[in-house]
Structure 1
Amino acid sequence: MQLIQQESRRLIVAISGASGAIYGVRALQMLKRCDVEVHLVVSKAAELTLKHEVGTSSVALRELAHAWYQASDIGAAIASGSFMTVGMLVLPCSVRTMSEIHTGMTGTLLSRAADVVLKERRRLVLGIRETPLHTGHLRTMTNLSEMGAVIAPIVPAFYTAPQSLDDIVNHTVGRLLDLFGIDVGLATRWTGQR
């Protein structure tokens, strides 16, 4: 995917309340080093997860984004299709957030922005963080995929021979950013048999 317009260098990053908040934080850290304008929204549930799992808050994450929005701010720029972006990454994405996006019942800015990305036919990547999945979850994922979303469950790659948890997180986030044509240089590329 080639990024050519300045507006297409904008990416919405959302962190929902699913376990795995480090993935969203790492994406923000990686994007800070790139020429990408990041617009951040964090759900209420993610506030708790960030504190518990990473020992931080969304306030501390504001410095990693160009713009930060409260989840209740449904009048924010990212709630409109006229605000041009390359798309949106929800990382991690809870089943609740996924379900809200699927139904179009957008009660927060996070789900509204995702709905806008879908209706504008932009790239929406959902880093689903849940297991096991029941049939309803799987059907919702199928429907979202048919609507244009990219369903990207958080699954470690072991072909990279990771030596640490950071290696796994970096590779996973790097591959998710690949889906927007953003190469942060941390994803190990498969070149064939070793």
Structure 2
Amino acid sequence: MRIAVGVTGASGAIYGYTLIKALSKLGVEVHAVYTDMGRKVLEYECGITTEDIKPHAVVYDNSDLFAALASGSFKTGGMVVVPCSMHTLGALATASGRDLLTRAADVTLKEGRKLVVVPRETPMTAIHLSNMLTLARTGAVVMPAAPGFYHKPETLDELVNCMVGKILDIFDIKHSLYTR
């Protein structure tokens, strides 16, 4: 299986990083694209760079519209945008495809593949909610970064793993990231 992961500049870079590592550990081929702000937030929040991602994923430059991810003929099992900024959410809702991340997500939808969008913003405006509804109506799964507490997490990693596990569930990927 091959999964694309897009990471934007919204707070919550740990979600994308943890997802990429989990997919890689589970034997999934990961293709990642970070926006410029996504790279900056990864460094600021996690203390790492996309060089640290490369052992776990093929990492693309967001400006490279010639990259494999930009083409529908590059088959994936789907794509996850995590975290998804409201800026990127709006671009996805209008199918702008102006950079690799938004083009890859648009390709994912047009090819009928799973697109999971994990917005990380609060509070949300009616515009944000409308954009989410637009994406949901086109077949995307909108999964706000809202980890559960029913598994009684004791650490930040346990909270993050709950969200990442829920993402893996959408792709029917078996894992043990949280207790059911």
Smaller-chain TM-score bracket: over 0.9
Residue 18 of structure 1: SS of its match in structure 2? coil
2:8 corresponding residue in structure 1: 16
TM-score normalized by the length of structure 2:
0.97
Partner of 1:127: 118
Give the CA deviation at 1:63: 1.1
SS of residue matched to 2:54: helix
**Match of 1:138, as an amino acid?**
L
| 1:25 Cα deviation after fit | 0.5
SS of 1:68's equivalent in the other structure is strand
Partner of 2:168: 177
Give the Cα separation in 2 of the matches to 1:144 and 1:32: 27
Q: How much is the aligned-residue C-alpha RMSD, in angstroms?
A: 0.8
Q: Deviations over 1:116-163 (max 9, x none)?
A: 000011000001100100101111100110011100000021111001
Runs of 4+ in 1 over 2 A off after TM superposition: none
Compare CA radii of gyration and give the structure with the larger one.
1
Q: Secondary structure at the match of 2:53?
A: helix
- Per the TM alignment, residue 39 of structure 1 is displaced from its structure 2 partner at its CA by 0.6
Matching of residues 34-49 of structure 1 within 5 Å: 34-49=26-41
Asked if 1:81 corresponds to 2:37, the answer is no
Using the size of structure 1 for normalisation, the TM-score is 0.91
Give 1:109 shift.
0.2
1:184 CA drift (Å): 2.1
8 Å contact 2:85–2:121 — kept in the other structure? yes
The 3-state SS of whatever aligns with 2:55 is: helix
Contact 1:101–1:111 (Cα < 8 Å) also in 2:
yes
Aligned to 2:53: 61
Q: 2:25 aligns with which of 11, 28, 33?
A: 33
The answer to whether structure 1 residue 93 and structure 2 residue 84 are counterparts is: yes
User: 5+ residue gaps in structure 1?
Assistant: 1-8, 190-194
Q: Percent identity?
A: 45
Query: In the alignment, is the contact (CA less than 8 A) between 1:175 and 1:187 conserved in 2?
Result: no
Which whole-Å CA distance do the structure 2 matches of 1:93 and 1:183 have between them? 24
| Deviation by residue 1:21-76 (Cα, 9 ceiling, x = unmatched) | 001000111112112111111110111101110011112211111x2210011111
